[in-house]
Structure 1
Amino acid sequence: MKSITNLSKEKALNRQEVLKKLNGRTLMIYFVLLNKIKIGVRELQRHLDLSSPSVARYHLEKLTDLKLVENRNGVYYLIKKADLPVLTSWILIGRRLLPKVLFAAVFFSVLFIGYLIFIFSFWGKDSLFVFLFGGLITLYTWWDVWVHYQNKPI
């Protein structure tokens, strides 16, 4: 029976291996599998517009070696979610990888612009607070979107 420290070291090594190997196109394919749960080689090739089915199979096999995906008669199933910090702040919509904070930035921008257009009528203590708070939160969320795009994993 393995000791608890050996299991934790094995888990840490496995996480480091996943962090090292899960990048670039393989990471994009992993994002697709997170959204679809199962996918075939040709479907993946068409979905990401890959050059050939062998490219799709190579990356799927890489995920299989990492024990994140399982091949069942040519259909690849997601069996385990990787514990990666990069996965928590991004979402794949179609072929686009978007930071989750983008939705907050759009939401706060719409609220702030809506306030300025429909509600704001005169300068007062309350309107100054809303103007400053709304402006700062909108600027901060858009700045965070920009930082996420600068550090895009793919």
Structure 2
Amino acid sequence: MEEELTGTAKRIYLYLLRQRRPVGIRKIQKDLNLSSPSIVSYHIKKLIEDGLVKEVDEGYIVTKVILEDYVRFRSALIPRSVFLTSFLASSLIILIYLIISHPFSADIFSLIIIFIITMISVYDVGRKYKKLKSL
């Protein structure tokens, strides 16, 4: 589904995904600098048909998040890789400290970190392969 969203429809979807509350057509038009409300309306209808957006009293909201490599935190979209990068960076700092102060502990710590990263990678590859098979 994520691959099917392109152009203006994708821009509107991402915009709605970042909002904390329902948004009306004219606000979407203004904030995305689109030429007319009818363009927004057209794309909103397509998003509703796809089951991604619904209309509520105050405007439109996202009902289904399809960006699988992102996590929504408040109104921000954060790539999942940020969490792995943070884990690796903090592990590197700890490893440098251990190499300097406790060399044997550094070996054990390295093994644990490599094991964790391997399990995360195997899980991610399996999940993506399973999704690919279902297409």
Which of 87, 100, 107 lines up with 1:108 in the alignment? 87
Match of 2:133? none
Q: Which residue of 1 aligns with 2:15?
A: 32
- Consecutive unaligned residues of structure 1, counting only runs of 5 or more, are 1-18, 149-154
Distance of 2:3 and 2:40 partners within structure 1: 16
Select the structure with the greater relative contact order (CA < 8 A; seq sep ≥ 6).
Answer: 1
Identity %: 21
Partner of 2:132: none
Residue 70 (structure 1) aligns with = 55
Query: Aligned-residue CA RMSD in angstroms?
Result: 4.0
Partner of 2:70: 90
**Match for residue 43 of structure 1?**
27
TM-score where L is the length of structure 2: 0.55
- Distance, in Å, in 1 between the alignment partners of 2:43 and 2:109 is 50
Alignment-derived partner of residue 5 in structure 2: 23
1:77 is paired with a residue whose SS is strand
Decide whether the 8 Å contact of 2:54 with 2:63 is kept in 1: no
TM normalised by structure 1 equals 0.50
Distance 2:34 2:55 in 1: 23
Deviation for aligned residue 1:116: 3.0
Q: Which runs of 4+ in 1 moved over 6 A?
A: none
